Amino acid sequence: MANGWTNKGKAHVLGVTFRGVTPPTNYYVALVTGATVPTADTNTLAQLTEIAAGNGYTSGGYQLSRNSTDFDTLTEDDTLDKGLVQVKDVSWTASGGSIPGSGDGARYAVITDDNGTVGSREVYAWWDLTSDRTATTGQTIALQDGELSIA
């Protein structure tokens, strides 16, 4: 699963680490369509197209706390010269209809801050799900071992 950091995300990590910027209380993993591909220049969720809410998917995505449960692996990799953190496995199970409820399937997962206005949430990183994902009742869309690495 390919992933990337936005410039907003890089600045966020540096600000929290070196300037004492207060991090958000929570982060979110949201699902977006392929209508607009996330890039290093993506700043907010409003610049992307979030999948339609309903049937097991909530607008804004899945909430993650800043702890070792939700960010369950932290590694210093001297062989590949990188540091990485993995997000716990996250899934959305369709109930009472399909995810998404309408429109295009999920092509990307993005990690955002917790701004109360979903469209204003800052996008820090993304994962390419490699194809549009949909789930019918009882099926699941899952993000497993979502890795954020800095090389």
Q: Cα 6 to chain center, whole Å?
A: 12
CB 28 within 8 A of CB 109: no
pLDDT (0 to 100) of residue 140: 98
| Residue showing tokens 């009472």 | 96
Q: Which residues pair with 82 in a beta bridge?
A: 77
Question: What is the full per-residue pLDDT of the chain (151 aa) written as tens digits?
Answer: 568 999 999 999 999 999 999 999 999 999 999 999 999 999 999 999 999 999 999 999 999 999 999 999 999 999 999 999 999 999 999 999 999 999 999 999 999 999 999 999 999 999 999 999 999 999 999 999 999 999 8
